[in-house]
Amino acid sequence: MSPPAFPWVYPYQEDGPRLGTIVLRPIVPITLFGKEAAPTSLALLDSGCEHILAAPWLASAVGIDLGHTGRRLNLGIGGQTVEVRFSDLSLRLHPPNGGDDDFVEWQAEVGFVHHWRPTWPILVGQVGFLDRFTVTMSRLSQQVAVEADDTFDRRFGVPLVY
């Protein structure tokens, strides 16, 4: 069975309150796969993040020993510098109201942060997500749409840059 056709439109999720106000975030469901499959988690779409980052318990869930991963990088996150340990994994994006067997899968580098602070267990950013899909976020409609990577090019006549 193949997943439903794009676009996939997801409602924003509440995150907060912050200073007495509910904050709305663009969120999508993603499953990480390594030796094992992690539980499907809600991932924050973060256009300011260069990488895909995840909480350390997801590394354990997919069977990664972070003590033995060779790729490490110090990144600024939340006003602090933290060490991130990277591993290549499979990711699955699930459509809204789809089942476990409905997904789009791809390979990407995922960084795991030992002292995880974000509300959501996964952050998806520029490399590994926003370079794989066309993403449209609308605060007015409080929804995010995910489409095929060439949608922007077809819509606006701008060639893809690889």
pLDDT in tens, 49-91: 999 999 999 999 999 988 877 788 888 877 788 889 999 999 9
- On whether residue 49 sits in a domain, the answer given is yes
The whole-angstrom separation of Cα 120 and Cα 91 is 16
| Residue 162 banded pLDDT, cuts 50, 70, 90 | low
Provide the domain limits for residue 141.
Answer: 8-12+31-107+116-152
- On whether residue 157 sits in a domain, the answer given is no
Tally the domains of the chain: 1
**pLDDT computed for residue 1 by the predictor:** 60
Closest CA to 33 of 109, 92, 94, 111: 92
- On whether residue 140 sits in a domain, the answer given is yes
**pLDDT computed for residue 82 by the predictor:** 86
Q: Looking at the predicted structure, is the pLDDT value of residue 25 above 70?
A: yes
- On whether residue 19 sits in a domain, the answer given is no
- On whether residue 41 sits in a domain, the answer given is yes
Instruction: Give just the sign of the alpha carbon dihedral 90, 126, 6, 44.
Output: positive
| Residue 36 banded pLDDT, cuts 50, 70, 90 | very high
Closest CA to 32 of 49, 10, 56: 56
Under 8 Å between Cβ of 50 and 126: yes
- On whether residue 23 sits in a domain, the answer given is no
Domain of residue 100, CATH code: 2.40.70
- On whether residue 37 sits in a domain, the answer given is yes
Q: How many CA within 13 A on the CB side of residue 36?
A: 11
The model's pTM: 0.91
Rounded mean pLDDT of the chain?
91
Tokens for 62? 């997919």
Tokens for 15? 């995150």
- On whether residue 94 sits in a domain, the answer given is yes
